[in-house]
Amino acid sequence: MVEDTANGNHRTTLPDAVGLAEAIRVGEMSPVEAVQGAIDRIEALDGQLNAVIHRQFEQALEVADSPDLPDGPFRGVPMLIKDLWAEEAGQPHHAGMKGLRDAGLVASRDNNLVIRYKEAGFIIVGRTNTPELGLVATTEPAAYGPSRNPWNTDFGTGGSSGGSAAAVASGMVPAANASDGGGSIRIPAAMCGLVGLKPSRGRISMGPLKDEWGVSVQHVVCNTMRDCAGILDVTAIPFLGDGVVAPDHGRPYADRVGEDPGRLRVGLLTESLRTGVHPDCAESARRSADLLEALGHDLIDSYPAALDGLEELGWAFNVNWAVNAVLSLELLGDRLGRSITEEDVEPGTWLLAQLGTDQSATDYAKAQSVMATFRRNMATWWEEGFDLLVTPTTAQPPPKIGELTPTHEDPLRASHRSLPYATFTSPFNTTGQPAISLPMGSSEGLPVGTQLVAGYGREDILISVGSQLEAEARWSRERSPIHA
């Protein structure tokens, strides 16, 4: 444990996952003690935050005490899993859906990523809250209620990895699984003051049920660049049959932490034609860009021209989003042994799925073509010699609880009001490029983030530059008011 004396704070705080693994390795604590500590923190804090919706404490303690615990780099470190597709055999998988909750759906096998976590020595202690099917930018599902921001519980945590973000920001665990189909790692990371890397398409296996070619990817939210890098090293290992495998650059990623990335060409974008940008969010990006310039990088007034015309891409992304909502309901219905009905889901999910059902095969094929054209057009900016693009992570600070939830009169209210939170993030789910949110700003006491985007496959650059900014901003010293 580490004594935190920043700002007069004398509480004892949890080390990051790398530090906790080292403490276990040298015998300062046992895996059982590490897991019991996480259990104690969850029990003490979760009543205020509603981050952990399924607890598997007894099993976790048994795994921690087992001689068969794998001797991986993170042996004995407690981990939380987002309750969306990252399934674990014998544990609930409800995807934020009341129909699956009421049916008591349990996973029959481990997801590929969960296999990698276990091989690395992580011990899973529970599952975290998520909006229904991860469809919106707030974690307030009807099935489990809202997750609350540990910086101010009147505000949300973002979505769709909001439960994981609340758990890590409050110190329940050092890192937690998260996934990102339109910003769902980066948005909660920004709102809760965390590091959130969306890896490149095909960097981490999405099997066995999901495909790597889609817009969604998996990783973690955490506090430090070395956790972000080290956990990527142990999970970015392909499985047989993966549809996309991202090219390797700079592995192992852990070696990129603290490494000088050289002099980079950096562009900056702080405005959006789709939505207004709050001054505090824009300032976070500008401050980060200025700091990168002070560190010796070339800051150039440029950004990809393709980001100026997103109307057609917005149409294509929405078609893809709606059609995939239909697919998700069909896959989960197969697991239940019956069709998902309107009574099983929230009104917004049902309406979105109906919109997806109404799309023709030609519409869907056209949407894929539009997204492919956008991907190629975006790539030219990086090929012309740029290394990084700096943007705000979100266009607005965290919303109050209830501001993004649907109503009977407007069941798609959550989707519509999510736009300011995904306007800077979702284009890079389409392109498949790696993008990271870093806790570089604040707005009235709540965190806001800066997003860095690199060329496809270049997580190594994001990790090197992120560690440069971490050394200057020292964000992991800042702890939320609700914290272990």
What domains can be seen in the chain, in order of their start residue? Answer: 15-477 (3.90.1300.10)
Q: In the chain, pLDDT over 70 holds for what percent of residues?
A: 97
**Beta carbons of 196 and 221 less than 8 angstroms apart:** yes
pLDDT over 70 at 363, yes or no: yes
User: Which tens digit of pLDDT belongs to each residue from 96-114?
Assistant: 999 999 999 999 999 999 9
pLDDT over 50 at 32, yes or no: yes
**pLDDT at residue 241, as a whole number:** 97
Nearest of 303, 317, 290, 289 to residue 427 by alpha carbon: 317
Q: Where does the pLDDT of residue 381 fall: very low under 50, low under 70, confident under 90, or very high at 90 and above? A: very high
Known catalytic membership, residue 160: yes
pLDDT over 80 at 8, yes or no: no
DSSP letters along 439-478, please? EEEEETTEEEEEEEE-STT-HHHHHHHHHHHHHHH-GGG-
pLDDT over 60 at 9, yes or no: no
pTM over 0.85: yes
Q: Where does the pLDDT of residue 6 fall: very low under 50, low under 70, confident under 90, or very high at 90 and above? A: very low
Q: In the chain, pLDDT over 90 holds for what percent of residues?
A: 94
User: Which tens digit of pLDDT belongs to each residue from 399-434?
Assistant: 999 999 988 889 999 999 999 999 999 999 999 999
Average pLDDT over every residue of 316-342: 96
Which residue would you say has higher pLDDT here, 110 or 1? Answer: 110
Query: Which of the residues 118, 147, 160, 161 is marked catalytic?
Result: 160
Query: Which of the residues 82, 118, 198, 210 is marked catalytic?
Result: 82
Q: Tell me, what amino acid is at 291?
A: L
Average pLDDT over every residue of 21-37: 98
DSSP bridge pairs for 452: 390, 436
Known catalytic membership, residue 400: no
* Strand 265-268 versus strand 195-198 pairing type: unpaired
Query: Which of the residues 161, 184, 272, 288 is marked catalytic?
Result: 184
Average pLDDT over every residue of 313-328: 96
**pLDDT at residue 476, as a whole number:** 87
CB burial string 204-242: b at 16+ within 10 A, e below: bbbbeebebebbbbbbbbbbbbbbbbbbbebbbebbeeb
Instruction: Say which range, 77-86, 356-365, 409-418, 438-447, has the weakest mean pLDDT.
Output: 409-418
Average pLDDT over every residue of 1-12: 46
Q: Where does the pLDDT of residue 138 fall: very low under 50, low under 70, confident under 90, or very high at 90 and above? A: very high
pLDDT over 70 at 471, yes or no: yes
pLDDT over 70 at 1, yes or no: no
Q: Quote the CA–CA distance of 336 and 324 in Å, as a whole number.
A: 18
**pLDDT at residue 109, as a whole number:** 96
**pLDDT at residue 11, as a whole number:** 43
Average pLDDT over every residue of 235-255: 97
